[in-house]
Amino acid sequence: MRYARTNSFSRLIPILLVIIIMVVAVAAVIAIGQSLLGGNNPENKPKSQADIAKESLLSTDANRAVRLTVRGPIVAQEKFRSYQIEITPDIRRMSTYEGYLEKQIDEKKLDNNSRAYEELVYALEKRKMMEGRQLSEEQNDLRGICANGKVYKFETLYHGNPVKTLWTSDCGGSKGSATANANDILLMFLNQIPDGKKIAAGVGLQQEDTFFQF
């Protein structure tokens, strides 16, 4: 009788070993699958809008750019003025415009390099250029905004298309979506263009010697 029990237990041992091996194998397959698919890797988690905006600003790929647009008071078509400064890893360009259809008055174009661009975008990031508040589509409509003052638009670009756009103005009732010190951002862009301040003043959009924070 004792022999029969021992013999029965001996037959169970291989079965138990097979079950254990199968469990270990399944666990290993699951672990490998999670590793290949990203698993708990934080880098594979969905990125926040803030992270995307920061990456877009700090990227120094050749197809990246940052752009500032300044629009003057809403006046007659003949007297309306605006200017734009666009910086890429390869070029720096400042253009001035007349009228609402943006008839170009003048353009200054200069070479750039990736190291200079990197220094600029990191400086802009430290000044929180692309940090802002969430606004509705209606609140982001710039038509008619700050009719007696200037409107400032900050953008990151990819292949010439906006990735993120923030704006503010020097009118107290139109703070806009940008939360950075606008004067700091303007000076960073204007300093990228020799005589940039003089060019802006030439179309009546000189920067005041005041600092405003929203």
pLDDT tens figures, 3-44: 555 556 566 667 766 677 777 776 666 766 666 655 455 555
Q: What is the pLDDT of residue 174?
A: 87
| pLDDT at residue 214 in the model | 42
Q: Three-state SS string across the chain, please? A: CHHHHHHHHHHHHHHHHHHHHHHHHHHHHHHHHHHHHCCCCHHHCCCCHHHHHHHHHHCCCCCEEEEEEEECCCCCCCCCEEEEEEECCCEEEEEEEECCCCEEEEEEEEECCHHHHHHHHHHHHHCCCCCECCCCCCCCCCCCCCCCCCEEEEEEEECCEEEEEEEEECCCCCCCCECCCHHHHHHHHHCCCCCHHHHHHHCCCCCCCCCCCC
What are 103's two structure tokens? 């008839």
- With CA atoms as reference, report the closest residue to 34 among 98, 7, 102, 26: 26
User: Could you tell me what percent of the chain has a pLDDT over 90?
Assistant: 59
Domain extents for the chain? 1-45, 50-202
Grade residue 199 by pLDDT with cuts at 50, 70 and 90. Answer: very high
Given a cut of 60, is residue 106 above it in pLDDT? yes
Mean confidence (pLDDT) of the chain: 84
- Rounded to two decimals, the pTM is 0.74
- pLDDT tens-digit readout, 52-101: 667 777 787 788 999 999 999 999 999 999 999 999 999 999 999 999 99
Nearest to 73 by CA among 145, 141, 142: 145
Q: What is the pLDDT of residue 211?
A: 43
Structural class in CATH, domain 50-202: alpha beta
Of the candidates 89, 85, 82, the residue with the CA atom closest to the CA atom of residue 155: 85
Give tens-digit pLDDT for 140-152.
899 999 999 999 9
Least confident of 8-12, 133-137, 168-172: 8-12
Q: What is the pLDDT of residue 33?
A: 62
pLDDT at position 19, please?
Answer: 75
Q: In this predicted structure, what is the pLDDT of residue 180?
A: 92
